[in-house]
Amino acid sequence: MWPERIPYVLETGAGPEFPRMFRAEQLFPHVRLDDVPGAATASMEALALPDLSGKRIAVAAGSRGIADIVPALRSVVAFLKGRGAAPFIVPAMGSHGGATAEGQLHILEGLGVAESSVGAPVRSSMEATLLGRTEDGIDVWCDKNAFESDGIVLCNRVKAHTDFKMSVESGLCKMMAVGLGKHKGATAIHGRGVARLGPSVLSAATLFLERAPVLFGLAIVENAYEETMIVEAIPPERCIQREEELLREAKAAMGRLIPKDIDILVVERIGKEISGAGMDPNISGRPMKGALGFEEIASPEVVVVLGLTEHSAGNAIGIGLADIATLRAVRGLDFASTYTNGVTAGDIRGCAIPLLANDERDAIAIAISGCAPKTAKECRIVQIKNTLELSSIVVSEAYFDELSKDANIRVLSAPEPMRFSEEGDLERVGAL
């Protein structure tokens, strides 16, 4: 389907110019837990729980790339077994994995979540039970295996959402409203439109807590280095209030791009485990159409995506929020997974195909041409591994004097020529 090369005319004379680049380290608050399983177990032990002997407990696991998801789930399973329960894992990821049981099982396996790693079997199904309808007309669903269990344990990271700003965003509430709702629940919530997404998640989670057998939630908060800084077991009656508090802590600790007024943002990889939007608009400044609360986040003039993560399994949601991508990036695109995710979420733009470059060298050259009348040397370029791992960056020489004086930036090298392989691949952040 995709051509081997696109016969556009790009180079003239000696060819395009590129700026010199330098390595830098962004410095963020660095609070972390040394013993995540121990902290999780201690927090669960403090809960006032009923007798769990012989009870079948569903433990919900999502599709995000949470750093300590396996140790956290293993701790939950061990704790429940210690109380005499029979735990099992259920995927809680809405329509991800192409909205199939096999696809969702594959996503969990890619995250390292399997019976051999967490100590409990995984029961993947797209069957869902209708819990009822909220006052604002939203049907709320629950994974059938989870609903028919004797209790549900939610296990998710609390963080800023990619589509809305509210008192609760991405966390335990969204796992109830969307993740455990499977494809039907995700469709019901997203069908209200992105402007209503936040209130819809909150009202659906409130009804879920009333009608589903939620035992407790295990909330995880990460710092800017993808390390766990908080892990806390929360009883159902405090889930919403405590999530609001944890979200504020998560936002204060999250990574960001310190360089301002970016002309070109180069994102080496996008993927579902990086962000539900493929690349986090809290970083890229490129939210889906209609998303609220992102007005203060500046958008670069040009965003370039070089490829997809391996774990994305071809789900290229978010690639349409870039201006330029490579042919290699779209060759790995799985239309069924990408379109199912995008249509369910109402993110049509995120599924679109941007301008395609034959290789990464061309992609950067085209981006620079899009910043005219600025010269290559004047272009303010930031290259990142992805929108989650932000401590190491590569920055163009136009930033050198400015960032050398910033207390939150450690400059690691002098500006050097931008380097490409013979195949036109840009040298990676981690390789420099």
At 44-53, the pLDDT tens digits run: 999 999 999 9
* Contacts of 366 by beta carbon, 8 Å cutoff, 6+ apart: 10, 324, 355, 357
**Position 10 confidence tier, pLDDT thresholds 50, 70, 90:** confident
pLDDT score of 297 more than 90:
no
The CATH number given to 36-253 is: 3.40.50.11440
How confident is residue 432, by pLDDT bands cut at 50, 70 and 90?
very low
Report whether 16 contacts 398 (CB < 8 A): no
**Mean pLDDT of the 394-413 span:** 96
pLDDT at 203 over 90: yes
How far is residue 220 CA from its own chain's centroid? 14
Beta 324-326 vs 355-357: how paired, if at all?
A: parallel
Region 133-146: mean pLDDT is 96
Instruction: At 167, list the tokens.
Output: 């008192």
Tokens of 23: 């390595």
Distance in angstroms between the alpha carbons of the first and the last residue of the chain: 35
In this predicted structure, the answer to whether residue 402 has a pLDDT above a threshold of 70 is: yes
Per cent of the chain over pLDDT 90 is: 76
The band of 13, judged by pLDDT with boundaries at 50, 70 and 90, is very low
- Closest Cα to residue 126, out of 89, 87, 95? 95
Residue 91 scores a pLDDT above 80:
yes
Structure tokens belonging to residue 334: 């799985």
**How far apart are the C-alpha atoms of 112 and 311, rounded to whole Å?**
11
Over residues 367-378, mean pLDDT: 94
Q: Which residues pair with 293 in a beta bridge?
A: none
Per the rule left: phi > 0, alpha: psi between -120 and 50, beta: everything else, 285 is left
Q: CA 410, CA 404: separation in Å to the nearest integer?
A: 7
Q: Chain-centre distance of CA 94, in angstroms?
A: 14
Instruction: Tell me the sheet residues that pair with 23.
Output: 394
Cβ within 8 Å of residue 396, ≥6 positions away: 19, 20, 21, 379, 380, 381, 382, 415
Looking at residue 305, its pLDDT comes to 97
Distances (CA, A) of 249 to 33, 36, 129, 253, 344: 15, 18, 34, 6, 30
DSSP state of 359: S
pLDDT per residue over 152-194, tens digit each? 999 999 999 888 888 999 999 999 999 999 999 999 998 888 7
Q: How confident is the model at residue 15 (pLDDT cuts 50, 70, 90)?
A: low
Strands 228-234 and 264-267: unpaired
- Please give the structure tokens belonging to residue 133: 């309808």
Q: Is residue 384's pLDDT more than 70?
A: yes
Consecutive H or E run containing 108:
helix 101-110
Residue 292 has pLDDT above 80, yes or no: no
Averaged confidence pLDDT in the chain: 92
Is the pLDDT at 147 greater than 70, yes or no? yes
Q: Which tokens belong to 360?
A: 């990464």
| Distance separating alpha carbons of residues 368 and 327, to the nearest angstrom | 18
DSSP structure class, residue 323: S
pLDDT range class, residue 252, cuts 50, 70, 90: very high
Q: Check pLDDT > 80 for residue 393.
A: yes
CA 48, 53, 56, 58 dihedral sign is positive
Per-residue pLDDT, 431: 55
**For the segment 18-65, what is each residue's pLDDT rounded down to a tens digit?**
999 999 999 998 999 999 999 999 999 999 999 999 999 999 999 877
Nearest to 343 by CA among 121, 118, 98: 98
- The helix or strand, by DSSP H or E, that contains position 182, with its residue range, turns out to be helix 182-190
Q: Which two tokens stand for residue 102?
A: 């096999």
Alpha carbon of 174 to those of 154, 164, 205, 224, 352: distances in Å? Answer: 10, 12, 7, 21, 26
What does the pLDDT look like over 317-354, one tens digit per residue?
899 999 999 999 999 888 988 998 888 877 888 899 99
Cβ proximity of 268 and 425 under 8 Å: no
Q: Please answer whether residues 87 and 144 qualify as being in contact, where contact means their C-beta atoms are separated by less than 8 angstroms.
A: no
- Could you read off the pLDDT of 92-106 as tens digits, one per residue? 999 888 889 999 999
Give the C-alpha separation, 288 to 318, whole Å: 8
Concatenate the DSSP letters of all residues of 355-393 into one string: EEESSHHHHHHHHHHTTTTS-TTT--EEEES-SS--SEE
Output the pLDDT for position 126: 96
Distance, in Å, from the CA atom of 96 to the CA atom of 93, rounded to the nearest integer, reads: 6
User: Cα(269)–Cα(386) distance, rounded to whole angstroms?
Assistant: 5
Q: Where are the domains of the chain?
A: 20-28+256-431, 36-253
Tokens of 115: 């019976």
Of 353, 65, 370, 87, the residue nearest 222 (C-alpha): 65
In the prediction, which pLDDT does 346 show? 78
Q: Is pLDDT above 90 for 90?
A: yes
How many CB atoms are closer than 10 A to CB 22? 20
* Count of CB atoms situated within 10 Å of the CB of 152: 27
